[in-house]
Structure 1
Amino acid sequence: MGYTTTKNASHHVPAEYEVRYYMRTPAITLNIAAPLSDALALMREHDVRRLPVVVDTGELRGMITQGDIRGADVMRVAGLDPLDIAHALRHVKVYEIMTEDPIAITPETGIREAAMLMIENKIGGLPVVDDQGRVIGIITESDLFETLVQQLDNHLA
């Protein structure tokens, strides 16, 4: 299918703690056949560090992060010509370096479960998919930190 989704059937989460209320939507996605230069441009344009990678139907196939692309900075520091680096970024396709079969969650997943999945798997974000595997949002560690701060503010107020 191209991703691993979690089902939280064993845990009933109160509706107000479902990911659907905390995820960013619509998610900025990238086509699997796009060049790395497009990934980098989208990340910079939208100030994000990760992008779900999809096929034409919107179904999740992978994730690509700034860390995956960071090799370009290493090449620059190593003294390689910036034009050579730009050329490489235009010719390497996203599918060649993306993480395949990423963990994905559904809108009904609880925010605690999402946070635990990120901690246990040492990842900074999870794509949120619908029943057909189409990406409908993303939740990141930043979103969870914002939620924590809001909860603390409400509790301490």
Structure 2
Amino acid sequence: MSATFSSPHDVPHVPAEQEVRYWMRTPAVTINLAAPLSEALAFMREHDVRRLPVVIDTGELRGMITQGDIRGADIMRVAGFDPLDIAQALRHVKVYEVMTNDPMAITPETGLREAAMLMIENKFGGLPVVDDQNRVIGIITESDLFETLVLQLDKAQDNMP
């Protein structure tokens, strides 16, 4: 038997203590500002992520880079260049050349609802979580938010007669 909700207001409430800190992924996989795109792509594949916070040596957030950003820089493939030539070219393009500058970030105290609304309103797949010195300490993604929703729905189903 599955729970059915007639409106979003019927979905069980996520308590206020459900702050981002309890759901963010830590430590965040980050990439240095001056790293080549090839390294960013390798990190994404290695860690099975689609986005990376871009940091300077102190860990301070400077940008975000996504697989889409890298695909946008990969126009040579579309133009018919050899994959080995593309890989070589990506070694010379730096992350800062294609990243999103000054990305929106949240704190560990941000509520899940607020994080979700920021992601929906801005069409972001994830948000970096930073400390009071703007150092990246985690990341919250759409997958993390779906996980909270599934757990809440399971809890509601368990409480149904």
The two structures have a TM-score, normalised by structure 1, of: 0.88
Partner of 1:21: 22
Matches within 5 A, 1:1-157: 16-71=17-72, 74-157=75-158
Cα separation, 2, equivalents of 1:39 and 1:139: 19
Cα separation, 1, equivalents of 2:96 and 2:15: 37
Cα separation, 1, equivalents of 2:50 and 2:92: 21
Report how far residue 75 of structure 1 moved: 2.9
Cα separation, 1, equivalents of 2:44 and 2:82: 23
Cα separation, 1, equivalents of 2:86 and 2:156: 50
Cα separation, 2, equivalents of 1:87 and 1:121: 33
RMSD of the TM alignment (CA)? 1.5
Partner of 1:9: none
Cα separation, 2, equivalents of 1:71 and 1:51: 16
Structure 1, unmatched stretches of 5+, are 1-12
Report how far residue 72 of structure 1 moved: 5.7
Residue by residue, what CA displacement relative to the aligned partner does 1:62-93 show, whole Å, maximum 9, x if unpaired?
00000001136553243211122011110000
Cα separation, 2, equivalents of 1:155 and 1:74: 48
Cα separation, 2, equivalents of 1:121 and 1:142: 16
The range that moved more, 70-79 or 31-40, is 70-79
SS at match of 1:80: coil
How many positions carry a matched residue from both structures?
Answer: 145
SS at match of 1:48: coil
Structure 2, unmatched stretches of 5+, are 1-13
The range that moved more, 80-89 or 58-67, is 80-89
Cα separation, 1, equivalents of 2:65 and 2:151: 29
Cα separation, 2, equivalents of 1:50 and 1:26: 14
The two structures have a TM-score, normalised by structure 2, of: 0.86
SS at match of 2:91: helix
CA contact (8 A) 2:27 2:138 kept: yes
